[in-house]
Chains A and B, each alone.
Chain A
Amino acid sequence: MMILVLIAVLYMTTASAQENIDESCFHCHPAQVNEYKASVHFNKNTCADCHGGDINISGTVVSINVMHTNFTGKPTPVNVTNFCSKCHENETMVYEESIHWQRLKDGRSAASCTDCHGIHNILSSKDPNSSTHFENIPETCAKCHENQTRMQALYYGIQTDRFDTYKKSFHYKSYAGGGRLLAVCSDCHENHDTRQASDPKSAVNPANLPATCGKQGCHTGANNVFITGGKIHEEQSVKLLSIDAKKLVTYFYIIMILFELSFTIGLIFLGITSKFEIRRRH
């Protein structure tokens, strides 16, 4: 009987050891813990894996004890990369080649792991609610890249109309019209290995464009030279006798359509009024 009670007490204390850590954080950070409980990381790691602190200290004691060994309340982007790399070694290695990391390393602001993947609510990219799910990628990138104040503050000269210009392409229009999303940012710019277009290793470097566009399942066999001379987000200017041909076409058709509309509707109107006139005469 005594042995049974002992076993029961032992079981209860060991069982509560794991829970206590989360519970102790939950007292003050219910929102964060709830987000974390819905994430892929739940039951795979603990709060302490990212935030540091001593997990062996009972949570029923004042929380400050939990935080006493190398606890990090709000990790810096560089810290984030470091502790993600503990498990996601390959991804971090690839990411550390990217322009985002280059800028971070220089002490400037740029996207780290959590900016794209989320913080406590990290979900698998297969989950439709994930910020890194295929269909959510344009919005995730646009979060920073469409933000004018943020892009200007960084002073990198990054244009903020990339999402808007992308929306005009067939890649997105198909999706907007209720069909498949054909290609997202990361399909051309890579996800972890995002580089500046001027970088020779970049997937969007003009020299690599035939390979990038010609990926299996996309424009297979796109090995022609002219795509290297064009940027998909930019309106390419074609000069016709030193006048921008696009402007010329647009002006021509604006005049044509205004003329046609007024002419067509005007003649219909005149035709109707002239009929009334005839009837009155009879």
Chain B
Amino acid sequence: MAELKFRRFTVNQRIQHILFFVSFILLAYTGFPLKFPEEWWSRLMIESVGGFDNRTLIHHLSGLVMIGVSVYHVVYHILEKPRFDVLFNLKDLDDFKQQIKYFLRYSDEHPKFGRYTWKQKFEYFGAGFGAVIMGFTGLLMWQPFEAMKYFPIGLVQIANLFHTWEAVLASIAVFIGHFYDEHFDKFPNLSWLTGNIPEEELRHEHPLEYEEAMKNRVIETPENVEHTNKDNILIVGFAKLIFTMIFVAICVWMLWISYNVLAEAIKTYII
């Protein structure tokens, strides 16, 4: 059975995404052990990158990569012809309400999403604001004495506070939310690598975009036709098992971190 495939991400976008997530994972991997340096997993993680000084170096370099990709992304958007489909609109609010109704079984009708769902838009802007906050506070913390030439020490300490909180917030969003929605639920979702989305998935996840594309009929060129191969179901199943185990472990880790950060903050600032 032949199936159409649709271009979802350009090479440029895919490279941006890969650079962003590789630096994100490295930052989280080398950053959280510094928040909890005496935990056994921190020691393991620091040793796995070859000691504490390497940890610091990797964290700084990944930070620079993330800042670079974020700046590039803004430039890319300015140079590219303007597009507004990623901005929030009123339909997102309706979609959200409809989805909650569907989930709670007040309605049998799942909302029809366009190119980006309301959740994907949240993730996109969350990542954007997160990168801005993490970048600025990270630079202040990297060179505290340079920073103190322009700001009082209290502001450098606030940068520290922001950096931790935003890291926890972003990591929950990515490691639990984004991983579940985009990679666990749609496993194996390879559109980040190939740039393509299968017809079935597009029709199911982004019906409005699918209808629009079918109306325009610009996609029916021979290289857009893919022959689906069902033989690899064992490999996919095994990969999903491995991915599930990693995903659950990361979720437990994130919950542990959130609990400890929240407990410490509540102890210091509220009680």
Contact = CB atoms under 8 A, between A and B. Distances in A.
B and A form one assembly? yes
B262 A178 contact: no
B173 A264 contact: yes
A177 B148 contact: no
B262 A257 contact: yes
Interface stretch (B79-87, B153-161, B221-229, B232-240): B153-161
A170 to B, nearest CB: 8
Contact of B53 (A179, A213, A250): A179
Contact of A273 (B51, B103, B255, B265): B103
Interface stretch (A12-20, A86-94, A192-200, A223-231): A223-231
Nearest to A174: B52
Nearest to B52: A179
Given A177-B43, A258-B262, A249 B161 contact: yes
A251 B38 CA distance: 26
24 contacts: A170-B34, A173-B37, A178-B43, A179-B55, A180-B53, A226-B149, A226-B150, A226-B153, A236-B153, A238-B152, A238-B154, A238-B158, A246-B158, A249-B158, A250-B165, A250-B269, A253-B165, A254-B262, A254-B265, A257-B169, A257-B172, A260-B177, A268-B180, A270-B104
Interface string B104-136: 110000000000000100000000000000000
Nearest to B185: A271
Given A253-B169, A274-B102, 16 more contacts: A213-B145, A219-B145, A225-B149, A226-B149, A226-B151, A226-B152, A227-B153, A230-B148, A246-B158, A258-B262, A260-B172, A260-B173, A265-B176, A268-B180, A270-B103, A270-B104
Nearest to A265: B176
Contact of A177 (B33, B152, B266): B33
Q: Which secondary structure characterizes the binding site on chain B?
A: helix
B212 interface: no
Interface of B: 33-34, 37-38, 42-43, 46-47, 51-53, 55-56, 100, 102-105, 119, 145, 148-155, 157-158, 161-162, 165-166, 168-169, 172-173, 176-177, 180, 185, 255, 258, 261-262, 265-266, 268-269
Interface string A267-278: 110110110010
How many residues of A sit at the interface, in one of the four size bands?
A: 35 or more
Nearest to A219: B145
A221 B148 CA distance: 13
Contact of B157 (A221, A229, A246, A264): A246
Contacts of B47: 178
Give the top 5 A-B pairs by smallest Cβ distance, nearest first: A179-B52, A230-B153, A236-B154, A176-B37, A253-B165
A158 interface: no
B46 A178 contact: yes
Interface in A237-271: 237-238, 245-247, 249-251, 253-254, 256-258, 260-261, 264-265, 267-268, 270-271
B106 to A, nearest CB: 11
A261 B172 contact: yes
Given A177-B55, A246-B157, A254 B266 contact: yes
Given A226-B152, A273-B103, A177 B46 contact: yes
A193 B198 CA distance: 73
A235 interface: yes
A23 B104 CA distance: 87
A111 interface: no
Given A224-B145, A246-B158, A260 B262 contact: no
B169 A224 contact: no
Contacts of B180: 264, 268
A222 interface: yes
Nearest to A247: B269
B165 A249 contact: yes
B38 A176 contact: yes
A94 to B, nearest CB: 28
Contacts of A222: 145
A273 B155 CA distance: 46
A238 to B, nearest CB: 4
Contacts of A225: 149
A173 B172 CA distance: 24
Contacts of A230: 148, 152-154
A165 B161 CA distance: 14
B148 A227 contact: yes
B169 A238 contact: no
Contact of B169 (A173, A179, A260, A267): A260
